[in-house]
Structure 1
Amino acid sequence: MMSAVKPLTIPRTFLLWLVLFSPVAAWIGWQDYADRYERFFQDTSIAQRMLSQKTVQHEAVLATLAALSHPPIPQRLLPSLQPSMPQLLGLGFLRDGAWAGSTASPPGLVAAVEQARQVGRPVTLPLDEARYWLVAPSSWSLLLDARLLIPAADFPPSLAMLTLDLGKGPLMLLARQSTDGPPGWKIDLHKPLGAVSQPFPLHSWRTLTATDWPWVEWLAWAAASCLLAAGTAAWQRSRADARRQQEAVRLAAMARLSTLGEMAAGIAHELNQPLTAILAQVRAAERLLDDEEERPAVRQALLASAGQARRAADIISRMRELVKPSSPSPRTAVDPDALAASLLFLREDELARRGIRLMWHNSSPGVRLLGDRVALEQILHNLVQNAADALADTPGSRNIVLSGGVEGTDYAFSVSDNGPGIADEALPRLFEPFYSTRPQGMGLGLALCETLAGAMDGRIAVRNLDPVGACFTLRLPLAGAPA
């Protein structure tokens, strides 16, 4: 038996798309973030090396000046160094305890020289957040402006914000993002400069906003996953249509066979009586035959007629035995909800195209009835088909309600519609074989339903509804109820 699987609805298709899209979109976002952080880390390291090279250059200049036996005076030396060292604002040294330099001596110079000699390397004397003196053990000193170490345009493009702390607070070296910009995901890195005498802390950070998100990749995957979800929904819909067609063909074949059996049984019933009468009349003629001359020929003809009549009766009897069930229908516990779901799966879309709404309501969920599932499908199929035919010319909304529930020791199915109802004179004859209220009807469908219901110890009835419509009720014993 085919399971009543419905194709993906629009909400379920959207949910499938969401399930497909979300994890891959999260992976795309994480990969993009990882790539951006890797570039940010590498470019921050490049900026740190560039600044470190400049500060190491300061140490090299001081070492060179200390090695000179007759260094030039600072006022002449400064112009020659500034083209290659724009950050150099001044320089000088102590000569016989007196300051000789291009600018005024730095405060605390003597103490700084003593400290530099103790640690064996230059030390710094910050003036503000941007300028500082670098004092060597030889007493040579350089006045430097950290703002001029590297032009902002020379920093790698992925860097947004850079600060350098000389000891008087952070100095902004680069500001490519507004501090009042939109919120986002902040990435930052702290690294000291590589010069031993100037290990100033470098802080680099960037805020990833919505403009940095991988929209192109997300949109591409959204379109691809949408196609996947739509393709899956179309495949399931095609598969469901194929199953629906297969089941419809199966039910139609079963209906044709059952109708043929009912027709054969009706024909056998109708022809058996005239054949019996023919047989009785022939035997009477045989007994009353008095003409001696014609007696042999008439007797032979009558005997032949009687033989043919008996043969016809035997053929009809064998046909009747063929279509008559040899044993009671197998009955099992049947779930009404599963039965109704299969029926809705088969008929709901077809009826919807005709403007008819088919609904199911079970007032006793979980209850099982005793019957033959195939026979029950055939009965409900015929009742729904009859209701749909009755609604063909009904204006306005057209509804068929299939409902079920426990009534005493029975489970009752009801098929009701809001059509014109059934004429009062037709109600008593609806279940007679070959009686039909439709011009094209054969009058066998309801008779077949009654036969199938009786084979399951069930019964079927019909009544008109007030103000309009008709209702067919099928009652069957509950599973587990006493016989």
Structure 2
Amino acid sequence: MPGVKPLTNIRTFLLWLLLFCPVAAWIGWQDYAERYERFFQDTSIAQRMLSQKTVQHEAVLATLSALAHAPMAERLLPSLQPAMPQLLGLGHLRDGAWAGSTSPPADLSGTIERAHRLGRPVTLPVDESRYWLVAPSSWSLLLDARLFIAPADFPPSLAMLTLDVGSGPLGLLARQPAAGSPRWRIDLHKPLGAPSQPFPLHSWRALTSTDWPWAQWVIWAFASCLLAAAGAAWQGARAEARRQQEEVRLAAMTRLSTLGEMAAGIAHELNQPLTAILAQVRAAERLLDDETERPAVRQALLASAGQARRAADIIERMRALVKPSSPAPRAEVDPDALAASLLFLREEELARRGIRLSWHNATPGARPLGDRVALEQILHNLVQNAADALADSAGARSIALRGGAAGAAYEFSVSDNGPGIPEEALPRLFEPFYTTRPQGMGLGLTLCETLAGAIDGRIGARNLAPSGACFTLRLPRAGDAA
């Protein structure tokens, strides 16, 4: 199984960039979209405010044209200027002569003729801010676009506004300096709404670095840094856990490999005392009928006992080799985490062999007491035995791992739908060196029983109906054990 590499500093930095950059770009785009939407709305408000002024001019001309006896321009101007400060003068042709508060516009006759032809008032620019608005009735208004709206009355998000009344752009608003730091400009062109005065309005704003969403970026940079650090820590923890699992697995494999290499020598060593015991017992059996040979019989039996002790010492050395040197104290173990580790390590491999491995927790709140490493070794061994038993089975093959409370204990079970265990083998399954497989060493279940006993557990086996076998591991349950 390949190990999990912890994230290096460079990889953690790249992970942070991968988290930060897309979201930071999205934050910047959202901020820009909000600014542009506000800018568009406020520009539309300014356009409507200016359009209302120009429509007001048309309304005044329409009213004056409808008067049968028009008042004198000099007397009318002061009464209109409080409501229309942009009105600088007015007048009309009376009996072919100009009657107004100021000098008449240039080419008045041609302008009136053009207004007649269009059927509406027309404009006659004077300079970049002033223009005459001439109606077909000859009534004319001299207007100053600079006085339409006070700069302070424009919406606050607007920065630069110009209006072209016919002689070039007129600056209505200038809230930004002409030069400065690098900028990103947003602008909008809209004509005023009066048919007689459709002056083009230009609004723009330069976005500088001070307009960028620094606060949101800093917050997300800090949050994404925490996420990257958490990811690196999680990856490091996983790598450390895998390393420990590999160390445990390699240690177990080393012990079993050592046992495999020593098996022939151990068999030879055991064969010697057992042969000697057999010879001494047979000799004693022959000498029992002769009263004079009782000392020899006693000697033969003592020699047999010594050889039996020697065989026991050999087996004890084997147990010491297999038994973990310093078993961990019992602690609460999360069965779901234990099963998840087992599924992660074995599920894909078993799937390639056509075997389905599943886990079911019957009582999610219950916890067993034990040593996690020992439990992993036991369950791995039981699953491996079940997989070996399914090797020659036809049809769907499955291994079911279950866990749940059983009274004051907690019970794991590993069951398969294979051929089951021969009845004659059931009583001997946990004997050292006993195996039903041609290539088996007969130590796997013995090791499982030893590990289970070290954590106050018991392991058992039974056959299932109509087929299959089930191994159970019974452990003390957290909360019920002393």
For the aligned pair, the TM-score class normalised by the smaller chain equals 0.5 to 0.7
Cα distance per residue 1:292-317 (max 9 Å; x no partner): x9972443344335545665787789
The amino acid of 1:57's aligned partner reads Q
Deviation at 1:254, TM superposition (A): 3.8
Q: Tell me, in whole angstroms, the C-alpha distance in 1 between the residues paired with 2:51 and 2:149.
A: 11
**1:179 counterpart residue number:** 178
Kindly indicate whether residue 149 of structure 2 is the aligned counterpart of residue 150 of structure 1: yes
Which secondary structure state, in structure 1, belongs to the residue aligned with residue 193 of structure 2? coil
Kindly indicate whether residue 300 of structure 2 is the aligned counterpart of residue 303 of structure 1: yes
Question: CA contact under 8 A between 2:192 and 2:200: conserved in structure 1?
Answer: yes
Kindly indicate whether residue 164 of structure 2 is the aligned counterpart of residue 168 of structure 1: no
Kindly indicate whether residue 9 of structure 2 is the aligned counterpart of residue 33 of structure 1: no
**2:118 counterpart residue number:** 119
**1:135 counterpart residue number:** 134
**1:428 counterpart residue number:** none
Which secondary structure state, in structure 2, belongs to the residue aligned with residue 30 of structure 1? helix
Deviation at 1:175, TM superposition (A): 0.9
Which secondary structure state, in structure 2, belongs to the residue aligned with residue 191 of structure 1? strand
Q: Tell me, in whole angstroms, the C-alpha distance in 2 between the residues paired with 1:201 and 1:150.
A: 16
Which secondary structure state, in structure 2, belongs to the residue aligned with residue 125 of structure 1? strand
User: Does the C-alpha gap of structure 1 residues 166 and 199 become closer, same or farther in structure 2, counting only changes over 3 Å?
Assistant: same
Question: CA contact under 8 A between 2:3 and 2:242: conserved in structure 1?
Answer: no
User: Does the C-alpha gap of structure 1 residues 260 and 133 become closer, same or farther in structure 2, counting only changes over 3 Å?
Assistant: same
Q: Tell me, in whole angstroms, the C-alpha distance in 2 between the residues paired with 1:192 and 1:155.
A: 17
Q: Tell me, in whole angstroms, the C-alpha distance in 2 between the residues paired with 1:304 and 1:224.
A: 81
The amino acid of 1:5's aligned partner reads V
How many matched pairs? 313
Q: How does 1:254-273 map to 2 (within 5 A)?
A: 254-257=253-256
Cα distance per residue 1:425-450 (max 9 Å; x no partner): xxxxxxxxxxxxxxxxxxxxxxxxxx
Deviation at 1:228, TM superposition (A): 1.5
Question: CA contact under 8 A between 1:7 and 1:237: conserved in structure 2?
Answer: yes
Deviation at 1:43, TM superposition (A): 0.7
Q: How does 1:200-215 map to 2 (within 5 A)?
A: 200-215=199-214
Question: CA contact under 8 A between 1:59 and 1:122: conserved in structure 2?
Answer: yes
Deviation at 1:250, TM superposition (A): 2.6
Which secondary structure state, in structure 2, belongs to the residue aligned with residue 171 of structure 1? strand
**1:335 counterpart residue number:** none
Q: Tell me, in whole angstroms, the C-alpha distance in 1 between the residues paired with 2:84 and 2:316.
A: 118
Cα distance per residue 1:147-194 (max 9 Å; x no partner): 000111111111111111111111111111122122222111111111
**2:42 counterpart residue number:** 43
Kindly indicate whether residue 251 of structure 2 is the aligned counterpart of residue 246 of structure 1: no
The amino acid of 1:226's aligned partner reads C
Give the structure-2-normalised TM-score.
0.58
Which secondary structure state, in structure 2, belongs to the residue aligned with residue 100 of structure 1? strand
The amino acid of 2:184's aligned partner reads W
Q: Tell me, in whole angstroms, the C-alpha distance in 1 between the residues paired with 2:244 and 2:158.
A: 64
Q: How does 1:16-415 map to 2 (within 5 A)?
A: 16-257=15-256, 296-304=293-301, 307-308=304-305
Q: Tell me, in whole angstroms, the C-alpha distance in 2 between the residues paired with 1:176 and 1:306.
A: 114
**2:461 counterpart residue number:** none
Which secondary structure state, in structure 2, belongs to the residue aligned with residue 206 of structure 1? strand
**1:444 counterpart residue number:** none
Q: Tell me, in whole angstroms, the C-alpha distance in 1 between the residues paired with 2:181 and 2:82.
A: 41
Question: CA contact under 8 A between 1:264 and 1:320: conserved in structure 2?
Answer: no
Which secondary structure state, in structure 2, belongs to the residue aligned with residue 92 of structure 1? strand
**1:3 counterpart residue number:** 2
Deviation at 1:61, TM superposition (A): 0.9
Q: How does 1:423-462 map to 2 (within 5 A)?
A: none
Deviation at 1:140, TM superposition (A): 0.9
Question: CA contact under 8 A between 1:89 and 1:143: conserved in structure 2?
Answer: yes
Q: Tell me, in whole angstroms, the C-alpha distance in 2 between the residues paired with 1:249 and 1:318.
A: 24
User: Does the C-alpha gap of structure 1 residues 174 and 294 become closer, same or farther in structure 2, counting only changes over 3 Å?
Assistant: same
Q: Tell me, in whole angstroms, the C-alpha distance in 1 between the residues paired with 2:310 and 2:244.
A: 41
User: Does the C-alpha gap of structure 1 residues 268 and 57 become closer, same or farther in structure 2, counting only changes over 3 Å?
Assistant: same
Question: CA contact under 8 A between 1:265 and 1:320: conserved in structure 2?
Answer: no
User: Does the C-alpha gap of structure 1 residues 238 and 105 become closer, same or farther in structure 2, counting only changes over 3 Å?
Assistant: same
Which secondary structure state, in structure 1, belongs to the residue aligned with residue 5 of structure 2? coil
Which secondary structure state, in structure 1, belongs to the residue aligned with residue 102 of structure 2? coil
The amino acid of 1:299's aligned partner reads A
Which secondary structure state, in structure 1, belongs to the residue aligned with residue 93 of structure 2? strand
Over the aligned positions, Cα root-mean-square deviation in angstroms equals: 3.6
Cα distance per residue 1:337-370 (max 9 Å; x no partner): xxxxxxxxxxxxxxxxxxxxxxxxxxxxxxxxxx
What percent identity do the matched residue pairs reach?
Answer: 71
Give the structure-1-normalised TM-score.
0.58
Q: Tell me, in whole angstroms, the C-alpha distance in 1 between the residues paired with 2:41 and 2:271.
A: 102
Contiguous gaps of at least 5 residues in structure 1: 287-292, 324-483
User: Does the C-alpha gap of structure 1 residues 129 and 223 become closer, same or farther in structure 2, counting only changes over 3 Å?
Assistant: same
User: Does the C-alpha gap of structure 1 residues 109 and 68 become closer, same or farther in structure 2, counting only changes over 3 Å?
Assistant: same
